[in-house]
């Protein structure tokens, strides 16, 4: 697949990045809830201010792989990122002959 420089594809990449950031932060928020941790607890683990944690969890933050790794490391958690072929419902421009992706292989930041 070749990289495309059109404004339309740039916007699509921007939206996809925002969606991934929301998925990551939702997964992180779920982990915190399961562990009974507050944002302040996470801030203490990371050695940052609670305000910084709020920025991270807002979903608008441009998260890097390093920042995700730092969060996972501080929580003794695991992050997993997977690439897969999308199902036709994931990509309205895909043809119906594309087999549906295995739901178990969808991108979901996981922790262990």
Q: What is the pLDDT of residues 72-103, one digit of tens each?
A: 999 999 998 888 888 777 655 544 443 444 44
Given phi > 0 = left and psi -120 to 50 = alpha, else beta, which region is 107? beta
Residue 19's pLDDT band (cuts 50, 70, 90) = confident
Question: What sign does the CA torsion over 28, 69, 91, 84 have?
Answer: negative
The confidence score (pLDDT) of residue 14 equals: 87
Residue 58's pLDDT band (cuts 50, 70, 90) = confident
């Amino acid at each position: 697949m070749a990289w495309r420089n059109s404004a339309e594809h740039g916007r699509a990449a921007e939206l996809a990045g925002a969606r991934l950031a929301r998925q990551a932060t939702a997964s992180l928020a779920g982990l915190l809830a399961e562990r009974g941790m507050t944002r302040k607890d996470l801030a203490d683990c990371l050695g940052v201010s609670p305000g910084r944690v709020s920025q991270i969890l807002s979903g608008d933050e441009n998260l890097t792989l390093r920042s995700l790794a730092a969060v996972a490391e501080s929580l003794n958690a695991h992050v997993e990122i997977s690439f897969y072929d999308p199902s036709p419902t994931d990509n309205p421009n895909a043809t119906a002959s594309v087999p549906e992706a295995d739901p178990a292989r969808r991108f979901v930041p996981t922790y262990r």
